[in-house]
Structure 1
Amino acid sequence: MQWLVNGNSKYGYGMWYDIAVIAPSVAFLTFLVLQMKSSLEKLRRSGSSSYIMASCYALLWLVAIFNLLWCLLQVWQGLPSQATAFNVLSLVTRSGMLLLEVSVVVFLLQGNHVRGWDALLQSLILSSIIAGIDVTVKAIYIFGYGVPLFIDGNDVGDWHKWGFWLVHKLLLVAVYASILCLPHTKWQNRLPAKPTFYNYICALFVLNTTSALGCGLLASGIGFGYWIYGITNICYHAFYPPLLYATFLRDFFQEEDLHLEDVYYSEMKDAGFFDADWD
């Protein structure tokens, strides 16, 4: 399977895979840098009312930075000298992204029952526990049993690795499927009314379902699963941070700009700038 070959190494997916993962990560981090001044100013003006957004924004920055480092380092993932660094960085990156996933879902599912600091604190505590358990189990697999969870190569049919990822993905599928079913239950009022929330959940449900399919094929010894798993890997590392920003932060940072545009339009309309349009 030549598409798996990266140079003379049996590890990795190849140059185009590396580019597909790295380029979006660089682009998004560049976007965050360009928008940082206005974003921080918006958070400062919002004061204490925006601490939830500030927390999410800070976590997004950390994950975006670690994710870019992971994308750059994964080019050399097959080199023995880089194995430990790659595994540690992968653990940190994946745990940070899982922390964000769980925090967002837990916070939004609390509905109107808990507000403010209580909601944020409960979300962070629960997500930290889940992310902590996740990173501990993965560390045991990698450093205790020598299972290369994050290093992809000539391992089709390795049930210890792909069976682990299959179970991991199926657990996430079950969580997101349950959330998608909530509108048809008595707990529907706990869900946020924002339509983009459901788009976010649907995207992660489809992504994890597809990834689980790839893991299942690889665990069964079918090499085509690498195509599926590789594509979902690209989508997750390249597009999850932008998806999170677009779903939960973009409206917050653009809210004032849109409000100002409405004000300017109203003032210009009152001044008669658009009267000629009716002639």
Structure 2
Amino acid sequence: MRLLGGIAESPFLISRLNPNSTATEYGGGGGFTGGWIDRCHGFLHNTLLVAASLFFVAYLAYEAKKSFSKLSNRRSYIMIAYYACLWLVSLLNLAWCCLQAWECTPGKELGWNLMTSFTTSGMLFLEVSLVAFLFQGNYASGAQALTRTFLISGFIIGLDLLLKAIFLFGFGVPLFTDNNESTQKFKWGVWVIHKLLLTAVYGVIFLMYNSRWRERLPARPAFYKYITTMFALYGLSLVASAFTANGAHFGFWLYGITSVCYHSLYLPLLYITFLADFFQEEDLNLENVYYSEMKDAGFFDADWE
């Protein structure tokens, strides 16, 4: 337990934050390293976030010409809209990762709260939309399907943003900073409920994939792997939030790890699951890939009986 406590207190992973902290407290006085990259969570935390998000944006830029050509030829409204949303959220996430020092900089609390609210809600919008898109078919291109999906996703995200704004600005709960011990239990209680709802959604879909209801779901192993990954990630985040709500430093450390994984790996995971096959060169190759995936998933077993 002493070892876990020591890990939780390490400045290279996650540290207790204070908005009145100075650059001296987080790595020394002055300079780029002391004034930014070592602030708040430490060098390793900030570097991993920035490097991963920057690499993914660079990859999107590198593939942009081929992607635009594919989108213009296919003319799928859903894919065009989703690709545009992915670009927007990726840039937001990159900005969020680069501005980690705002979390413990006096006078930047409002900017940090707004940036974090829009970034996390944007990523949640992609999550909700992905599930809705895949339930309607991987390449549904009708404007009606797009409108229905975005209305559902927009309603959920609007409600999510409203609740966050009420807690942040109405009740003064520091949802995105760790700077007020008197509200920590209430804050982590909010996150427990939030993570519980998301874990339950992915858990239900995961159970459907392992039941007789699986034929109602897309016949793509990639989607099943995505659901399994997200179910495990939110499950860990739920456990971490519950531990932290009860004052365990290990839970605070684990929550930080899940946050780093989410902001650095979720967007690439989403791209691989939903968009990568769409941007393949040959349509015939794409059809073969989906046939192989459906066969591996056992959807043609009945033909042999």
TM-score bracket, normalised by the shorter chain, equals: 0.7 to 0.9
User: Is the 2:192–2:238 Cα contact (8 Å) retained in structure 1?
Assistant: yes
Query: Which stretch has the larger CA shift, 75-84 or 91-100?
Result: 75-84
Q: What is the aligned-residue RMSD (CA, Å)?
A: 2.5
Which residue of 243, 255, 259 corresponds with 1:229? Answer: 255
Q: 1:27 to 1:156 in 2, by over 3 A?
A: farther
Write the distance in 1 (CA, Å) between the matches of 2:52 and 2:241.
24
Q: 1:53 to 1:82 in 2, by over 3 A?
A: same
Match of 2:295 in 1: none
Q: Counterparts in 2 of 1:101-250, with a 5 A limit?
A: 101-110=127-136, 116-152=142-178, 155=181, 158-185=184-211, 187-250=213-276
Q: Percent identity?
A: 45
Which residue of 117, 132, 146 corresponds with 1:91? Answer: 117
Query: Which stretch has the larger CA shift, 152-161 or 222-231?
Result: 152-161
Query: Which stretch has the larger CA shift, 117-126 or 51-60?
Result: 117-126
Match of 2:57 in 1: 29
Shift in Å, 1:256: 2.5
Shift in Å, 1:121: 1.6
Write the distance in 1 (CA, Å) between the matches of 2:108 and 2:264.
22
Write the distance in 1 (CA, Å) between the matches of 2:153 and 2:211.
24
Write the distance in 1 (CA, Å) between the matches of 2:52 and 2:72.
29
Match of 1:18 in 2: 46
- Does residue 251 of the first structure (1) align with residue 277 of the second (2)? yes
Match of 1:44 in 2: 72
What TM-score, normalized by structure 2, do the two folds share? 0.78
What TM-score, normalized by structure 1, do the two folds share? 0.85
Equivalent pairs counted in the alignment come to: 258
Q: Which amino acid aligns with 2:122?
A: G
Q: Which amino acid aligns with 1:237?
A: H
Q: Which amino acid aligns with 1:164?
A: V
Question: Which consecutive unaligned segments of at least 5 residues does structure 1 have?
Answer: 263-279
Question: Which consecutive unaligned segments of at least 5 residues does structure 2 have?
Answer: 1-8, 18-22, 28-38, 289-305
Deviations 1:65-99 (A, max 9, x none): 00001111122311122111111011111111111
Q: SS of 1:232's equivalent?
A: helix
User: Is the 2:96–2:115 Cα contact (8 Å) retained in structure 1?
Assistant: yes
Write the distance in 2 (CA, Å) between the matches of 1:179 and 1:42.
31
Write the distance in 2 (CA, Å) between the matches of 1:193 and 1:259.
17
Shift in Å, 1:9: 5.4
Shift in Å, 1:120: 1.9
Q: Which amino acid aligns with 2:93?
A: N
